[in-house]
Each structure stands twice: as structure tokens, then as C-alpha cells.
Amino acid sequence: MSGLARFTALLIVFCGCAWAATPEVRSVFAPSDVPLETDPSSDFWRAAIPVYMDSDTHGHKVAGHRTKVLTRWTQTNLYFLFICPYEELNLKPNPQTSAETNQLWNWDVAEVFLGANFKDIKRYREFEVSPQGEWIDLDIDLHQAHHEEGWVWNSGFKVSARIDRDASVWYAAMRIPYSAVDTRAPKAGNLLRINLFRSQGPEIRRRQITWRAPMSSTFHVPERFGLLRLVRP
């Protein structure tokens, strides 16, 4: 084996190991679309494979806020459900749910960052929902100085949310058109880039809860994203 061939083989092995080590969220196929459901015990959500968010932006455990996230996919949509324990709520007064709420990230939210571009990882989409059912979606381009201006983009995604104050848990579901994040048709084996976040509580005691800690004060570190894999049962 030539020196170049040996180097190429080692590079393939190294890249394969690095790829295999990337954490994954596994989204389970559903045969048909359903109305948005915030009950995790429903037939639809019981088939999902959970992942958990329990660390702050620098990887330290956040007590009392371990968040369960479920996801499924159909031939047209991606679904997410967040189950969010809380100690304090930070809700926007006079919530508006018929149109998106710019700067919703200043209040309690659950967030999904999704990207299909593996060559330019600074391009991806952001989806947010509040405990009151407010929402915003953004087309993120980190090459731009003000990437938050991407909020004028509209994906057509839908949300549903509710607060169980007796249990101190809020629930939020999203239905995202698959075409809003990927030019490919959805099929088992497709991979997307993903990260999951929450902001919780009043500013002075704000908790930031993440799936893959960005190791930064901002959530927008695409180098720290994991993978979303579409799977069949």
C-alpha cells in the first residue's frame, strides 16, 4: 500500500469513528399525521425514543429541570414534544399566538435547531415555542452579523402548549414541515444536524438547559450540534 493510500485509509477510519461517536436523536416513523398532542402517554408519543436535556450551556448539570424530548416523523412532517419541569415561570404578558412573537427567546421557551447542510454548518433553522403557545421560526445564517433577522422567514410550522401548574411541568409540541429543513424527501436513514435548548425562569435566575452543551454563552455554536436520524420501528 502506498503512503497516500495508507493515509487515506487511516483518514476514513478516523472520520468514521468520529462520526459514530456523534450523539444522536432518533426520530421514529409514524404512518400518518395527527393533530398536535401534548400528552406524552398518548399512542402517538409512546412509540417515540426519548432523549434528555439536563446541562447548562457549559455542560454543568441543572438540578430540577431535566427535560424529556420526544420526536417522530411522517412523510411530510417532523414532530417534537418537550416535557419541561420548572421552578419558576417567566411568561410574556398578553401572549399572541395567531402570529409569531419576535424575540420570544427573552421568555420561557423550548427550542429546536435543525440543519440539513453538512457543508455549511452555519446555515440552519430555529424553531421556538413558549408554555403559552407563542412561537417563532428563524432562518439562521451565522455568516451575517445579525442572524436574528432571519425571523421574517416562515416555515409553516404549528405548535401546541399547556402548563400543569400543580405538577410544575409545561408541555410543548411542534409539527415542522420536513421541507422547511431539508430538500430531500423524508426517508429512514436521513440524517439532520440538531440541537435542543430551553430557557427557563426570570432573567435574574434564568436557567439554560441544553441537550448538547454549546460550551459558550450562546446557543448558536453549530460545531456542537448532534445528529437527528430518521428511523422506522
Is residue 214 predicted with pLDDT exceeding 50? yes
Q: What is the mean pLDDT of residues 143-155?
A: 81
Q: What is the mean pLDDT of residues 70-92?
A: 98
Residue type, 33: D
DSSP category for residue 228: E
> Would you give the end-to-end CA distance of the chain in angstroms?
42
Q: For position 2, what pLDDT does the model report?
A: 47
Q: For position 145, what pLDDT does the model report?
A: 74
CB of 180 closer than 8 Å to CB of 156: yes
Is residue 134 predicted with pLDDT exceeding 90? yes
Q: For position 217, what pLDDT does the model report?
A: 92
Burial state string for 22-49 with b = 16 or more CB within 10 A and e = fewer than 16: eeebebbbbeeeeebbbebeeebbeebe
Q: For position 21, what pLDDT does the model report?
A: 78
Q: For position 93, what pLDDT does the model report?
A: 96
Q: What is the per-residue pLDDT across 117-131, written as a single tens digit (0 to 9) for each?
A: 999 999 999 999 999
Is residue 133 predicted with pLDDT exceeding 50? yes
Exposed (0-12), middle (13-18) or buried (19+): which is 232, by Cβ within 10 Å?
exposed
pTM metric for this prediction: 0.90
Q: What is the mean pLDDT of residues 8-34?
A: 70
Cell of 12: 476514513
CA 190 – CA 21 distance, rounded (Å)? 17
Which single residue is written with the C-alpha cell 410544575?
168
Q: For position 20, what pLDDT does the model report?
A: 54
What domains can be seen in the chain, in order of their start residue? 25-231 (2.60.40.1190)
CA 217 – CA 57 distance, rounded (Å)? 6
DSSP category for residue 165: T
Q: Tell me if residue 201 falls in helix, strand or coil.
A: coil
Exposed (0-12), middle (13-18) or buried (19+): which is 210, by Cβ within 10 Å?
buried
Provide DSSP, 29-94: E-SS-------TTSHHHHTS--EEE-B-TTS-B-TT--EEEEEEE-SSEEEEEEEEE-SS----SS
Q: Which of 92, 62, 107, 2 is nearest to 211 (CA)?
A: 62
Is residue 11 predicted with pLDDT exceeding 50? no
Burial state string for 143-177 with b = 16 or more CB within 10 A and e = fewer than 16: eeeebeebbeeebebbbbbebeeeeebbbbbbbbe
